[in-house]
A = this chain, B = another copy of it.
Amino acid sequence: MNPDPDYSAAYLRVDLGVQGRGVQGRGVQDHGVQEQGVQRQGDHPAAPDGDLPSGHAFVFTIGRGNDIQLAAVASVAERLIGRPVRAVLDDLGGLWRELVHDSQLRWLGPEKGVMQMAIGAVVNAMWDLKAKLAGKPLWLLLSEMPSEALVDLVDFRYLTDVLTPEQALSRLRRWEDSRGERIEALRRNGYPAYTTTPGWLGYSDEKLARLCAEAVQQGFAQIKLKVGGNVADDRRRMAIAREVVGTEIRIATDANQRWETAEAIEWVRQLAEFDPVWIEEPTNPDDLLAHAEIARGVAPIRVATGEHMANRVMFKQFLQAGALQVAQIDATRVAGVNENLAMLLLAAQFDVPVCPHAGGVGLCEAVQHLSMFDYVAVSGTVDGRVIEYVDHLHEHFVTPVELRQGNYVAPLAPGAGTEMLPASLERYRWSGRG
């Protein structure tokens, strides 16, 4: 479904001005991982004031439309200009409600697509700023917040049929006393990752086999293969991968929305003998009833989805319908950390593991914080959980992710991981067409 991505981002920086406030938005577009044909235009980004930290966030896009996304981010961010920053940072739940329930902006969704992602960038930039001011990585900042404060971050409107604030609080309290142990475990062991490197369509069988072997050598316990082009090809590639990685390494599959319902069931059954751990995005990402039917049709192979999940209300329904067994939250698709926190709580309520979507530009850097916080305070476990890892574009970030023996190393630097290097912002800045 995504034949020609042109990896891009609508990028937001929130500066503390001389009065300790101010917002600035601008757009950065990275023309593909080859970094060729880059057109650089526009002014130099302004330097932040002195040593005050800035809040950074972005919406990952795949090319055309990045300018629309940027306009939406700027429009939402503008509302914060001139506000006392500390007051905003002390009530990020209130900020979320204000932005999401703005009735005029809400009309353009409600709670989906360009506007929801724009709100997400603004919310996430404030979280980055808050974490930097606290001198902590975001995952640790969240992991040290009182349970009551975490519940206050979530808007339970339209969720109460499956999750009330009281139920959420009760869940968080269950793990409160032992948070310290899991924080230490994260610092020691990191968080399990899986790699998509071997699995792109178009690789020769020899390259597939070689990359599978390398993934095992690098310590990954799971790999992922794209499927859905041709079932005979998929079977051959699955056979090669299974042969190389053995029976202990998990193989996930990803169809990128290619199928109709019946086709999905038929196709996945033909891959069953190679023991795929999940089938990802079998059909249209809004179609929870189709996902539920597919899940029934391909069990015990699990259905995974979430990178295009529009909001917490859709997520709730996928859980209610048994339409997903693996929840792939995304750091920049919904309205930021707060909405992802709601989704972590919902997933835990249904005992569904969260295995975030990553890759793109900076999604690995951002989403690792959510999984680590989930382990410390929400689900209390890493069993069956794994964060996607795609090995590209990390060099553009101030605090790039670090992998060690197939695990994300817990980041220690203050912030949400979402700040790009000034040189990258400058080099790939995009303000033209084409």
Interface, chain A (partner B; CB < 8 A)? 1-6, 61-65, 67-69, 71-72, 75, 102-117, 157-158, 160-161, 257, 260-262, 283-290, 293, 308, 310-311, 313-314, 316-317, 320-321
Contacts and interface: CB of A to CB of B under 8 A. Distances in A.
Given A103-B5, A286-B311, A65 B75 contact: yes
A111 B261 contact: no
A63 B105 CA distance: 8
A210 to B, nearest CB: 29
B317 A287 contact: yes
A4 B103 contact: yes
A106 to B, nearest CB: 7
Nearest to A308: B110
Given A63-B104, A284-B158, A112 B113 contact: yes
Contacts of A105: 64-65
Contact of A107 (B61, B109, B158, B161): B61
Most buried by B among A61, A287, A311: A287
A157 B5 CA distance: 22
A69 B108 contact: yes
A108 B134 CA distance: 33
Contacts of A311: 286
Given A2-B106, A108-B113, A161-B293, 17 more contacts: A1-B106, A3-B103, A6-B104, A65-B72, A67-B71, A71-B71, A109-B113, A110-B257, A110-B285, A113-B116, A157-B260, A158-B287, A161-B262, A161-B290, A286-B310, A287-B313, A310-B310
A154 to B, nearest CB: 15
Contact of A75 (B64, B75, B287): B64
8 shortest interchain CB distances as A-B pairs: A113-B113, A63-B104, A64-B104, A114-B114, A158-B284, A161-B261, A62-B107, A65-B108
A5 B105 CA distance: 10
Contacts of A115: 65, 68, 113-114
Report which residue of A283, A293, A313 has the largest number of chain B beta carbons within 10 angstroms of its beta carbon.
Answer: A313
State the oligomeric state as a number of copies.
2
Nearest to A73: B68
A245 B161 CA distance: 37
B260 A161 contact: yes
A287 B110 CA distance: 12
Nearest to A286: B313
Nearest to A64: B104
A1 B157 CA distance: 13
Q: Chain B CB within 10 Å — which of A3, A5, A285 has the most?
A: A285
Contacts of A5: 103-104, 107
Nearest to A257: B110
A285 B104 CA distance: 16
Contact of A71 (B2, B68, B287, B308): B68
Candidate in A68, A260, A262, A314 with the most chain B CB atoms within 10 angstroms: A68
Nearest to A283: B158
Nearest to A108: B65
Nearest to A75: B68
B61 A67 contact: no
14 contacts: A62-B107, A63-B104, A65-B107, A68-B75, A110-B284, A110-B285, A111-B286, A112-B286, A113-B115, A158-B287, A161-B290, A286-B317, A288-B288, A310-B310
